[in-house]
Structure 1
């Protein structure tokens, strides 16, 4: 009897943790998130202290979610963007660290568009979920 209660409590805790992390994110298609808003926070996605939280590691879709987010962006005048992964950087605290150390690394992408004078660094967290918005300076792909 104690074993059944223990398993029930454990299942409830796991269920609550999973539900708490989930954020409803619509897909435009399998490769692109449907964004509806541009952030007004000038640090959102453009600073390692305020990364875009795409989540997905828990479902083995972390890198895919990063690309889905970047595929939803457009340049300041609707230009098609191109991007490349510059690498991992910037350890941050996360309860979703799959290795149990309490910290994870962000991914840094360099994003540009036709007519841009330079690339823009976008910092992405694939371990945690958050509301997705286009960073300041970007628009949303039509």
Structure 2
């Protein structure tokens, strides 16, 4: 009886565990730009604690997806943005780690636009997929 209860509880736990969707479909404006339709109201969106999840590693498009996301952004008044990759940092947990360790690194990009007083750091996760939005303070490229 204890074996059956343990098995039943295990199955119940597995059935109630949320499954993280790593196959979120994102539309493209063109081959180099994601289509965004919303601006985040969360000031932490795009930080190392809440990175933007562009996915793509499984299909060898991780870095391209990072650029597709950044290409969809505009400055606060619609200005064209420029960006550069500042490097990798900040290990995070991911079930999509291609190396099997369960830990991956984020990429940090520095983004600016004409008239900006400084660059803005945006942290991107190319291992996991999520709903894409422009970070607070940015607009969406037309």
TM-score range relative to shorter protein: 0.7 to 0.9
Q: TM-score, normalised by structure 2?
A: 0.85
The equivalences for 1:49-60 within 5 A come to 49-60=49-60
Q: Gapped runs of 5+ residues in structure 2? A: 1-19
> What residue in structure 1 maps to residue 116 of structure 2?
116
> What residue in structure 2 maps to residue 107 of structure 1?
107
> What residue in structure 2 maps to residue 43 of structure 1?
44
> What residue in structure 2 maps to residue 31 of structure 1?
32
> What residue in structure 1 maps to residue 71 of structure 2?
71
Q: Gapped runs of 5+ residues in structure 1? A: 1-18
Give how far 1:20 is off: 3.6
From the CA coordinates, give the structure whose radius of gyration is larger.
Answer: 2
What whole-Å deviation, never above 9, does each CA across 1:104-130 have from its counterpart, x for those lacking one? Answer: 000000000000010000000000000
Say if 2:73 and 2:138, in contact at 8 Å, map to a contact too.
yes
Residues of 2 paired with 1:20 and 1:122: CA distance?
22
What whole-Å deviation, never above 9, does each CA across 1:22-60 have from its counterpart, x for those lacking one? Answer: 001000000000000000100001x10100000000000
Q: TM-score, normalised by structure 1?
A: 0.85
Say if 2:39 and 2:139, in contact at 8 Å, map to a contact too.
yes
Secondary structure of the equivalent of 1:85? Answer: strand
Two-structure CA RMSD over aligned residues (Å): 1.0
What whole-Å deviation, never above 9, does each CA across 1:33-91 have from its counterpart, x for those lacking one? Answer: 0000000100001x101000000000000000000000000000000000000000000
Residues of 2 paired with 1:131 and 1:103: CA distance?
21
Moved over 4 A (4+): none
